Amino acid sequence: MSSDYSIGVEEEFFLTETSSGLIVPHMPAGFVRACNSRVAGEATYELMQSQIETTTPVCRNPGELRHALTALRSGLTDVAGDFGLSLVAAGTHPLGEWREQVTTAAPRYERLIEDFQIVGRRNLLCGLHVHVAPPCGVDRVDVMNRLVPWLPLLLALSTSSPFWSRQDTGLASYRQAAYDEWPRTGIPDYFGGQAEYDTFVQGLLTAGVIPDPGQLWWAIRPSARFPTLELRLCDSCTHIDDALCIAQLFRCLIRALVRQPEVGRARTPLTRMLVEENRWQAKRQGVRAQFIDEIHGGRREPMNDALQRLLEFIEPDIDHFGCRADVLHAQVIVERGTSADQQRAVYRARREAAAPRREACQDVVRWLAEATRVAAGVSRAA
């Protein structure tokens, strides 16, 4: 990637039987190969055979990123249809049952299961990852430290995982709760800069605790493979506009913090704990969350107020990247609700119509598959 705020996005999806809505335990033979023959970008296996991940090419403007994400989703949706399957973009699958899943036969995944046992086998989760490359010479860890307080807001906008093991969890992002079972996740601690971060990573490698830096799975991290900061905490977004919004907000935040190196340096021994508390509010309530604003006396700040403060902070960066439409979509998400809110609305309507829980979950899956199809620019089935 170049170093002028170039951007790339990874999306994870569930593969679902179109007729039943059930998650597919076995990846069909030739599926990934067929996907990669259809799309520009990359489609790869995930830990579970029921999942697939896409990676965009390196992008430098909002139109390029929109085209790449749309083409990837549309291409995979077409290929899935050829196999009698549907693509579902959500943090968890409403009908998913982790005990029924089959892991992908690859040395890396086999090591993960051996190391993490039930924690690895329960990893039936899909996320949205965003890479942004700051300019050369910028200390990525310094920017990461100062960006951390904004992470709960980005999570809230993405929430799409209210269901687990075929029941409503009461959380907007159960994916985050499940992912907290893994080591080295959640909000990273404060590091004195890239050098101190590298010393920490090298210590874990020397001790044999991790085989590579990729096993630091924090909500945000400096990528070991690319000169980027990688956002990792967001749920897979059902609506492509939601994913684009979050990606551009993250990009604008990084530029805003680079051009204002004095911003975000105030911190106390409580800062990380308060950010973790805000992350809990986001995964519990989604866009209905109220966040603790440590900088302004610890008052509770509604999502709308926090979003407005963010938009004012990044205003020059929105203009610089020309991404106003993408970024202002955050206001639509707050008003409309996230995918988690919409899934629950479908589920409640079916339950109130006396549908059994399983049938209500099937209708949620159908809504997710259709919303993913529409988001990908694929016309509705007749």
For 63-88, write each residue's pLDDT tens digit.
999 999 999 999 999 999 999 999 99
Give the pLDDT of residue 141.
Answer: 98
Mean pLDDT of 25-45: 88
CATH number of the domain at 7-375, please?
A: 3.30.590.20
Give the pLDDT of residue 232.
Answer: 98
CB of 221 closer than 8 Å to CB of 144: yes
For every residue of 316-350, which 3-state class applies, written as one string? HHHHHHCCHHHHHHHHHHHHHCCHHHHHHHHHHHH
Give the pLDDT of residue 3.
Answer: 57
Residue 2 has pLDDT above 90, yes or no: no
State the pLDDT confidence band at 244, using cuts at 50, 70 and 90: very high
Say how far apart CA 102 and CA 94 lie, in whole Å.
18
Q: For residues 23-42, b (16+ Cβ closer than 10 Å) or e, as one string?
A: bbeebbeebbebbbebbebe
Give the pLDDT of residue 1.
Answer: 43
State the pLDDT confidence band at 197, using cuts at 50, 70 and 90: very high
Within the chain, where are the H helices?
31-38, 62-82, 107-116, 118-121, 140-147, 151-158, 174-179, 194-207, 240-259, 271-285, 303-313, 315-321, 324-336, 339-352, 357-375
Give the pLDDT of residue 39.
Answer: 83
Q: What is the pLDDT of residues 91-134, one digit of tens each?
A: 999 999 999 989 888 888 999 999 999 999 999 999 999 999 99
CA atoms within 13 A on the CB side of 287: 20
Closest CA to 32 of 8, 13, 6, 58: 13
CB of 5 closer than 8 Å to CB of 125: no
User: pTM for the full model?
Assistant: 0.95
Residue 212 has pLDDT above 70, yes or no: yes
Say how far apart CA 36 and CA 145 lie, in whole Å.
37
| Sequence letter at residue 151 | L
Question: Parallel, antiparallel, or unpaired: how do β-strands 7-17 and 51-55 relate?
Answer: antiparallel
Q: Using the structure block, give the residue that is written with the tokens 């090419």.
A: 57
Say how far apart CA 317 and CA 256 lie, in whole Å.
6
Mean pLDDT of 171-195: 96
Residue 376 has pLDDT above 90, yes or no: no
Q: Using the structure block, give the residue that is written with the tokens 């680079």.
A: 258
Say how far apart CA 106 and CA 275 lie, in whole Å.
36
Residue 27 has pLDDT above 80, yes or no: yes
Residue 321 has pLDDT above 80, yes or no: yes
CB of 197 closer than 8 Å to CB of 222: yes
Mean per-residue pLDDT of the chain: 94
Say how far apart CA 216 and CA 315 lie, in whole Å.
32
